[in-house]
Structure 1
Amino acid sequence: MTKAKRQARYIWLASGSVAMGLGIWAMHFIAMLAFHLSVPVTYDVAMVVISILPALAASAIALFIISRKGIGLKQNLHGALFMAIGIVSMHYTGMEAMMMAAEIQYDPVLWTLSAVVAFAASLAALYLLQYVSNHPDRPGIGWIKAGSAVGMGFAVSGMHYTGMAAATFHSHSDHIHPSTSAFNSTFLAYSIAIGMLILFAIVFLSMFIDRRFEHQFIKSERKFRSVIESANDAIVLSDKEGKIISWNRGAERIFGYREAEVLGEDLLLMITDRFKDSHQKAEIGKTAELEGLHKEGRVFPIELSLASWSEEGEVYFSSIIRDITERKQNEQKINEMVYRDSLTGLPNRLLFNDRLLTALHQAENSKQPVGVMFIDLDRFKNINDTLGHDAGDELLIEVAKRIKAAVGKTDTVSRQGGDEFILLLPDAASGELTKKAQRLLEVFSESVLIKNLELVITPSIGIAVYPADGRDLETLIKNADTAMYRVKEQGKNSFQFYDPSMNESVSKKMQIEIGLRKALERNEFKVVYQPQVEVHSGRLIGTEALLRWTNPGCGTVSPAEFIPIAEETGLILPIGEWVLHQACLQNKAWQNAGHPPMRVAVNISSRQFRQSNLVEKVRETLLRTELEPHYLELELTESIIQDSQHAIEKMHQLREMGIHLSIDDFGTGYSSLSYLKTFPINTLKIDQAFTRNIYTDPKDASLVDTIINMAHNLGLKVIAEGVETLEQLEFLQKKECHEAQGYYFSRPVSPEDLEIYLEQQAVEAVM
């Protein structure tokens, strides 16, 4: 009865009352039938039936009282009193059912004693029964149950025989003959005995079946509880009022409260005040991100999933809660990699471009000017070369702080790379731009203390204004860059607004463009190869094809100078096709010469990638050179992945051919990480800007470590560029980077020199 709920509880109460009441009555009545007098005795059926009612009522009341939770001595006394009244009433009503030629007289003392015996024995029995209910799993509880049963039996039988002893029977001459409503005593005794045995059999069978179901339920509940307790997440059950009814170990670990501390408490105790409304509005079956409140007052991010169920007309809720602190930290770290410069923490080019595009869109509607400032530090390379890269990095961090402090809160300061910074100044008229540029010059006039040396760094500032100097992102940045180079050419610490007459740099670009158009015809290009080695074994496993250009008039032209122009003019298409063909042809030649097969990596520019027939051109090149596709690797630049919708289908086509795909200069902040789960890439290339400083800059070391771990988790290979020292190599070996390339192994060399390199490796392998 204490475990059953609602309707089931009342069914057990009725069953227990009938079993107990009829048991008491049967003991009494059969004992009376066993009592023999000198005169014939029969029984009035109506009175016999009436005598049953007090026993049933008393049993029901006593069991109802004793089965309630939290009862004390007062409730026990009430239950015993009702039990005693029922027993006494049943006994003396049954005595009145006797039909005989005698009169019954009672001894007051023994009559009172019979009532006291019934009360005392009932109180003891009910107390033991309550103890059994409160301690069902205590060792030896069966003996206490037996004691309760014996006490109850003594209450009934003791009262009965004390009551019978109180009765005196006086015969008289009036003989009452049995009527049609009287029973023969022997028949009645056997009928009652058999009926009660059947009743008890039914009750005990019901209890046995219920116990079996209860046992199965307990087993299922224990299994369910073990699953809940083994979960790392917090699993909290609550009622419709939001009161906690279950609290697993995961919840203890996440929130710091023990189960005993929170049972019955409001579920909102673990939610911060500003998210309590959000929690109450959480939708069933959906996941919500909130803020959790630890017992010690610490606030941390959580993810909550809410479900509900109904049981016996009551609604309950289950909350599965996960501490997402680590996930949020990783997201923030990755977000910083994507949108922030790793050294200064400023927005990188990707974030700056996004903000500039937004500002241009708003300016188009509001007709307000937008300013772009391009800042380059004068003679920064001298400081870097003289004091070292760590001093240069320290200087860049200080410069970033000063620039940020000199502009407004709505302005964006971005580091583009190296010593170049670019500013976005929305809603800025030319007068306002002049004031900010002068403010920047003043800020830079203050010396900077680096390695106990007082340094004075000066900036060259170029300014372009929307819409006069350009209506799109690229034009504005290019013109601001052009204005900045004009300041540098003039050799003075100043700023300059863009003017269309600034064409000297344009002229130089035109010369390069003209030279590029003739370079292929004049055979001025050559392809050099830089070995790629396995980090742990040092074994050569691939090579990267790099383009070099020697112009008869200008001499050697840096790829950083002519590649952007080739990209801009479209000349990158024939040049890139030529490089791809040369690299595949050379790789096949090395294989034909008997050298072990390896992959050759070729850079593919964004303009090449946008060709509609790129896949066909690559397939055609492989067929002409007879190189198998899996010996070719295409390195994709950051600008390719900006148009993921366009790129993904083409990348899948290349991958299906067997060609390896890699992302070049990963981690520089130009690229979005969303392609990592979408694009079919094989390898990430860590930019040399990070590799160079892994032993001097903890941030670069942490960033390289993060990229390698992320690649491992995504099943991607990692190759580090710019490895120049043994210490850098040992760091990469420790972090389980797969491949590396750099001056530590070899500079980019001619095909003939690389063949010598291959032969040397073959000899070393034999030795």
Structure 2
Amino acid sequence: MKDFDSSRIYQILGDEFKNIYIVDCESQQIYAFKETLKLPGFSLCMNYDDAMNQYIDERVYEKNRDMLRMALSFDSLYARLEKSEHFNIHYQSKSDTEVHFMYTHFGRIMEGNKLTQIIIGFANEDLDIRRNNLDMMDNTIVPNGLRRKVLIVEDNEINREILKVTLEDDYEVLEAVNGEEGLKILSQNYKDISIILLDVVMPICDGFEFLNRQKSDSLLANVPVIVTTGNNSQEDELKCLGLGAVDFITKPYNARIVKSRIDSVIKLRESSMTLAAIEKDELTALFTRQAFYHHARTFINFISNENCYVIVLDIADFKLINGTYGTKKANEVLVYLANAFRYYGKNGLLTRYEGDQLLGLFHSNDKLQVEKIEKNLNKIVEEAPIPNIRIKMGIYENIDKSLQIPIICDRALIAVKSISKDFKTNIAFFTSEMNQRLLAQRQMENDFKNAILNKEFKVYFQPKYDVKDEHIVGAEALVRWQKSDGELIPPGKFIPLFEKDGLVVQLDEYVFKSVCNFQHERIQNHLPVVPISINLSRASIHFNNVVERYVEIVKENDIPFACVPLELTESAALYSQQIAAIINQLVKAGFKLHMDDFGSGYSSLTSLNELKFTTVKLDKSLIDCINQNRGKKIVQQAIDLCHGLDLKVVAEGVETKEQRDCLKEMECDEIQGFYYSKPLNEEDFISLVSC
């Protein structure tokens, strides 16, 4: 390693820089003088341009790269330091998912009149800044209550004073008497300066040189410049505009024109900043969904004669990753997948569509890109930041361009959802069969409102029997959809759909009202009445005023609360403070609560302890195992546990005499299932109860 004069280097840079490098101008080799952060490229003794390019590629935010590459090539750097002792370059650096404001200080060592060494110091400009949104980092909109800053660069004191008086009521005014001083002030305050008013003719550093040097700095170049001059030369105006100025004002100044021009430029700049902020996702730097929708329609219209493809990448069990590894690691996985998607799908329009779903739109010329993503899916999984993740891929090819963009995207999502539970398959294509199912679901959603009005939803009753004397002691209300044209839609088709889209809240209340009306008529006519339980879905539990609505319906029908118990599925009853509050309100109002589907896969012991259920219903999956030794022990223990907590036990899904006999031996309280009765329509149920 070459010998360097430490005292001269620290005299030039001071000691605040964590990384300092020396470039030997004769060999154009770069050497580490002080190295704390191990920056890529510079960590080795190598050619300066190669080292700088490696650093820029690996650490500099992509929007700054091209400008930084041009400004910091060895030839540009050498020429600039021949004229100036030192200067700063501001830019944005990235590491993992974080972006930092950085600056690099360049200084020189001269031997006589010859530049022999270049000193480079790297520093984090603001250690407190930690922002994930790359586009928002470019500029900062001034918060409400703070005045925007305007920098006036003008050597003429009278003109400077005129501008200051014109603007100081509305802006905080900074002043510089020449371009060199102006660049220094800009370098120190560029994040806060909204606009620069720049005179062209000045000593030391004129307006043209100011614009040139400002343009070479990635961040300083973001501050708009209005050029002011007493010269009406069109050539000067074009030259300034070519160097990046946004507007031109001639002297003498007209206060209204000056204010109007400044206001227009600032509004335009801040509007573009706002658009940039909402266009890109904070974490992945891909388009947000709304920005994607906007650009996708333009994209499709532009290539109207070509086929298009939509791809969605979905991380399976992402909530589990969050819970196991933590949010930071989960975010790292998302950033990694976004970068892989960007790499293999270079020409696509890419978006973070949902929390853990990335989506891309490609045209037919990019079919190779689509195939490349398919081919490398396993590789993407293998190189992920955590092991054993599963990435599912849904593809909608040759899209129907007449559809709305959200519907087009939904088709790729439907494809990926079709394999969400399939551990063997990772890629699925949207098919005509999927489309038919989708159309059928849309039709059911469209028909729902009229079905409620026309009472097409029919309540069926499945009896519950006392195990000891085998008498009917209650029933569960179930719903069937009997369409006006005679078609019977099974609940397995419409209930999951309505749970997903929220229509189940209305359906739950419809069934509850129907059962309350039924019980009211029985009581009014002095007929036998047994409790009929009604299912309350998770969506209904969280619905506003559910307790008040259900209490009102009971009171309107003038019936006891005990004759309409409410069944909550085990998953819906998983304990939380919010659910506990609602359940306590229901109990306080007078409702009896049954826990449905106990043992279906969730841990409900906390719920049993904290929530005031009166009855537990053992899921059919437990009853199906009752003839096995281990299964029998599990059911017996569940019954004993519930009885120990003073809870009744209902076994549902009982289909055989052997199951019935076993449950009777275990002292189960009630049985529901096909062994005694299938769900009955109202007429048949009345006949059964009347016997």
TM-score class, shorter-chain normalisation, is: 0.3 to 0.5
Pair member with larger Rg: 1
TM-score (norm 2): 0.42
Length-normalised TM-score, structure 1: 0.38
